[in-house]
Chains A and B, each alone.
Chain A
Amino acid sequence: MASVVVRDVSLNFGVVEVLKSLNLEVEQGEFIVLLGPSGCGKSTLLNCIAGLLDVTDGQIFINGKNVTWEQPKDRGIGMVFQSYALYPQMSVEGNLSFGLKNQRLPKDEIEKRVKRASEVLQIEALLKRKPSALSGGQRQRVAIGRALVRDVDVFLFDEPLSNLDAKLRNELRVEIKRLHQRLENTMVYVTHDQIEAMTLADRIAVMRNGIIQQLDSPHAIYARPVNRFVAGFIGSPGMNFLAGTLEAGSSPKFKAGDATIETGGYMFESRLESGTQAIFGIRPEHVVIGEQAKAMPYTTDVEIEIVEPMGSDTLAWTKVGGQNFTFRIDSEFAPKVGEKVKIGFDPARASIFDANTDIRL
Chain B
Amino acid sequence: MANTGTLNLTAAAMDPVAAELSGPRGPRPRPTFSRRNIFLYGALIVVALYYLLPLYVMIVTSLKGMPEIRLGNIFSPPVEITFQPWVKAWSEACTGLNCEGLSRGFWNSVRILVPSVVLSIAIASVNGYALANWRFKGADIFFTILIFGAFIPYQVMLYPLVIILREMGLYGTLWGLVLVHTVFGMPILTLLFRNYFTSLPEELFKAARVDGAGFWGIYFKIMLPMSLPIFVVAIIIQVTGIWNDFLFGVVYTKPDTYPMTVQLNNIVNSVQGVKEYNVNMAATLLTGLVPLFVYFVSGKLFVRGIAAGAVKG
Contact = CB atoms under 8 A, between A and B. Distances in A.
Nearest to A53: B206
Contacts, number: 72
B210 A83 contact: no
A98 B203 contact: no
Contact of A73 (B211, B225, B313): B211
A102 B208 CA distance: 10
A244 B125 CA distance: 63
A130 B313 CA distance: 12
B209 A73 contact: yes
Interface residues on B, range: 10 to 19
Contacts of B212: 71-73, 99, 102-103
Nearest to B204: A85
Among A50, A79, A136, A150, chain B packs the most CB atoms within 10 A around the CB of A79
Interface string B300-313: 00000000000111
B313 A139 contact: yes
B275 interface: no
Interface string A61-86: 00000000001110001110111111
Among A87, A131, A139, chain B packs the most CB atoms within 10 A around the CB of A87
A317 B225 CA distance: 57
A146 B206 contact: no
A81 B311 contact: no
B166 interface: no
A85 B204 CA distance: 5
Contact of B207 (A103, A146, A163): A146
Nearest to A136: B313
A131 B203 contact: no
Given A131-B311, A132-B311, A83 B201 contact: yes
A87 B208 contact: yes
Main secondary structure of the interface of B (DSSP, over half): helix
B206 A98 contact: no
Contacts of A81: 203, 206-207
Interface in B193-216: 201, 203-204, 206-213
Interface string B208-244: 1111110001000110011000000000000000000
Contacts of A103: 212
A274 to B, nearest CB: 55
Given A84-B313, A87-B222, A132-B311, A52 B201 contact: no
B210 A73 contact: yes
A71 B214 CA distance: 10
A132 B308 CA distance: 11
B210 A50 contact: yes
A231 to B, nearest CB: 33
Given A98-B221, A132-B311, A85 B209 contact: no
Given A79-B210, A87-B207, A136-B313, 12 more contacts: A50-B210, A52-B210, A71-B212, A81-B203, A81-B206, A85-B207, A87-B222, A88-B225, A89-B225, A98-B208, A102-B213, A163-B313
Interface of B: 201, 203-204, 206-213, 217, 221-222, 225-226, 311-313
Interface of A: 47, 50-52, 71-73, 77-79, 81-89, 98-99, 102-103, 130-132, 136, 139, 143, 146, 150, 158, 163
11 contacts: A52-B210, A71-B209, A73-B209, A81-B203, A84-B313, A85-B201, A85-B206, A89-B225, A98-B221, A131-B313, A132-B312
